[in-house]
Structure 1
């Protein structure tokens, strides 16, 4: 008896079909990602204001980054808001997802899932406009409800203390639904037999969560940490609509500052340098998170 030892050959049409399916994505990446990135990199070495021919400036735009005191403050406010938004989405999102997966009527779970997910699919500008009215110091519903409880009105959008908090609340309210949805998918992928076996062994709710749910959910948590880190550092619509980055720069983000330099001051070369360095910062943060994830996986 003889066996066929020749490897199975791939049909000739598979390569062409794969290329046909990949072509739209490849073209989209080349046109809308790679080409603009290369253009911004080139532009960062020029002094150009949109109205005249650009002049080569070498590394001058990058040198300005180290003397721009305002830029350091904007990085500080961006980091503060981004880290709080990240914590809310990752920690509170997990808590809400676990609560939604507890035993309750199906229609109640469906209602709350829809309630959390709906803001995520709405335009960020529309969400910010609605909350701008709700957080109005004199006419806003939030301050009206605070007044009913006897508390003083809060200048949500005009105070350097409360303005970044307002941006954090609005952005978290809009984006937490995505984290909850991903967490629910991760929770549903965990075999029920493991939890049932733990219950039989007498493990409590906290022990089951810490010993079973959390370790098996760690890839989902890592994914959400990376995605939410990138997204929270790039927020633009909420501070732009709610506070215009003020008062001062207390709620201004890097993306908003970049926009002001490019289309407010028409200093596109310097704005491009800010964009390039900001992209490098995000790459470094993502690399650190991947390194930590590998260490955590090895530790487990």
Structure 2
């Protein structure tokens, strides 16, 4: 009777070697430690502080859920949430829509020898400090001495109080933040465009499809994972803007351009009400988690091809 001979490599295949597991853990340990120290531990600390009344100068007093009860009756907080949502959604739209249009123009309409220059031009503001960018734009948008109003005057238009008007201050924050961050979206879109096989476009050209048909039927569906990624990332980042409104308008006039992060900062280090600020931070984190979960839930609708 012939006995089947099992190759040595097959033995033990059901059980991964212990050394491989230890090696994987060793490679993952820096990320795990970083997450525990810089994400999980601070979050737990903020959650702990949200149940206390603490002003940094004295021992904290346990107040239970009083800080969260204050959130419900804080009308100013609701207004700040509204201004934050307005600016964040506008920034999101600019990064996702305008970023896509600019990326397509750079890849399809721009001469090759100019592509590198324009890519660098769009990406450069992204790597510069947000405070430095906001400070430069604060001078450019100055009502009396700013270059923007000077140009408007030259072409015969009235000067605009970009930073002192409740209508224009949020617009200024949107423009400055979008100008700084859109380079990242363009770079990601370019990577997505370059991953689309050229054979698909060539086949569409042979079939007589024009540029719009090729974009709508090939480019846009193939970019749906990239679009989804940028929607999630830009939603989280745009809701957390701080430096631009802080430097440009200090959140004013009133609370017209104030964001949740700025309001939290003012309550924590302006009023020394760290317990209430911690409660704001916890609820804001939950709002961002909920928005991200909704986006992932809807991700199937944003994916236009299988």
Fold shared per TM-score above 0.5: yes
2:240 aligned with 1:240, yes or no?
no
Task: Provide, for residues 168-188 of structure 1, a one-character-per-residue CA deviation record: whole Å limited to 9, x for no partner.
Answer: 000000000000000000000
Match of 2:182 among 176, 191, 196: 176
- Counterpart position of 1:264: 270
Flag structure 2 segments of 5+ consecutive residues without an equivalent.
Answer: none
- Counterpart position of 2:25: 19
Structure 1 residue 151: deviation in Å?
0.7
8 Å contact 2:193–2:223 — kept in the other structure? yes
- Counterpart position of 2:146: 140
Structure 1 residue 198: deviation in Å?
0.6
- Counterpart position of 1:75: 81
8 Å contact 2:177–2:244 — kept in the other structure? yes
Could you tell me how far apart the structure 1 residues matched to 2:117 and 2:304 are? 39
- Counterpart position of 1:57: 63
Q: Indicate the RMSD between aligned Cα atoms, in angstroms.
A: 1.5
Could you tell me how far apart the structure 2 residues matched to 1:287 and 1:256 are? 24
TM-score normalised according to structure 1 size: 0.97
Task: Provide, for residues 20-76 of structure 1, a one-character-per-residue CA deviation record: whole Å limited to 9, x for no partner.
Answer: 222211111111100000000011011101111101111100000111110010000
Find the residue that maps to 1:136 and give its secondary structure. Answer: coil
8 Å contact 2:224–2:302 — kept in the other structure? no
Structure 1 residue 103: deviation in Å?
4.4
Aligned residue runs from structure 1 range 26-65, under 5 A: 26-65=32-71
Match of 1:6 among 11, 14, 31: 11
Find the residue that maps to 2:73 and give its secondary structure. Answer: coil
Find the residue that maps to 1:101 and give its secondary structure. Answer: helix
Structure 1 residues 123 and 298: alpha-carbon distance in aligned structure 2, compared to 1, 3 A threshold: closer
Could you tell me how far apart the structure 2 residues matched to 1:291 and 1:93 are? 24
Could you tell me how far apart the structure 2 residues matched to 1:104 and 1:234 are? 34
Match of 1:197 among 176, 180, 203: 203
Could you tell me how far apart the structure 2 residues matched to 1:292 and 1:156 are? 37
Match of 1:111 among 108, 117, 133: 117
Match of 2:94 among 85, 88, 105: 88
Structure 1 residue 299: deviation in Å?
8.4
Could you tell me how far apart the structure 1 residues matched to 2:113 and 2:84 are? 39
8 Å contact 2:221–2:304 — kept in the other structure? no
Match of 1:154 among 157, 160, 167: 160
Aligned structure 1 segments of 4 or more residues deviating by more than 6 angstroms: none
Structure 1 residue 11: deviation in Å?
4.9
Task: Provide, for residues 243-263 of structure 1, a one-character-per-residue CA deviation record: whole Å limited to 9, x for no partner.
Answer: 000000000000000000000
Structure 1 residue 107: deviation in Å?
2.4
254-263 vs 287-296, which moves further: 287-296
Could you tell me how far apart the structure 2 residues matched to 1:143 and 1:103 are? 32
2:171 aligned with 1:165, yes or no?
yes
Q: How many residues are paired up?
A: 300
Find the residue that maps to 2:11 and give its secondary structure. Answer: coil
TM-score normalised according to structure 2 size: 0.95
